[in-house]
Amino acid sequence: MAFEYRDNDSPADVVWNTGSVTPEMRGRLKPHAGRCIWFTGLSGSGKSTLANVLEAELNRRGCHTMLLDGDNIRHGLCRDLGMSRADRSENIRRIGEVAHLFVESGLIVLTAFISPFARDRQQARSLFRPGEFQEVFVDTPLGLCEQRDPKGLYRRARAGEIHDFTGIDSPYEPPMQPELSLHATDSPQRHIEQLLALCLSGASDSAGSVG
């Protein structure tokens, strides 16, 4: 089944219900601001590894987090989707909506998805208020990703066993102005320092557990 995002495609009789508790009220119960850290990059670039390490460090500092990983999501929420361009766009649309709900609850949400298409990432960004969506480009060269190839996917794609594979026979559109670019030449420690600064900017001054 193919999906295509359309603006204003909600039925006319579906009306947004505004609750009594606002995101600001929820945020006051947290030691930090709710936000989405959106990791994007090629398969094997290190997105999931960085997201996992970052979440562990944020948890150690008393932050409330939720990690959305590409493979995990396809076991449940998006298990009905394939790997066509339309299905991958629908996958990212759903993730954006889920991430938005978590941010509304005051959590720091980390998403680790290839999300190869700029239009899909922009659509996700449009769900959030200014400053809530932080795009992190894990800028690892294709050659290095292929050397790592932790799942053997590049090898299978080169052999013609997998089609429409990002970086081989399907494009990856790198972010033009991400909030943060992480390069393979920098140390993992440097990456985490930069990510923590991004996550905790604007954290509550009264939160002794953060920092």
| pLDDT tens digit sequence for 66-122 | 999 877 888 877 888 888 888 889 989 999 999 999 999 999 999 999 999 999 999
Any catalytic annotation for residue 115? Answer: yes
Least confident of 4-8, 18-22, 120-124, 203-207: 203-207
Residue of 20, 89, 115, 181 marked catalytic:
115
- How long, in residues, is the chain? 211
Note the pLDDT of residue 3.
43
SS3 sequence of 76-93 = CCCCCCCCCHHHHHHHHH
Between these two residues, 192 and 209, which has the higher pLDDT value? 192
Instruction: Show binding-site residues.
Output: 41-48
Closest CA to 37 of 102, 118, 105: 102
Output the known binding site for ATP.
41-48
The confidence score (pLDDT) of residue 70 equals 75
CA–CA separation, 206 and 88 (whole Å): 41
- What's this model's pTM, rounded to 2 decimal places? 0.84
CATH of domain 23-200: 3.40.50.300
pLDDT tens for 18-63 read: 777 777 777 777 778 899 999 999 999 999 999 999 999 999 999 9
| 3 state DSSP class of 133 | strand
pLDDT at 206 over 70: no
Note the pLDDT of residue 209: 35
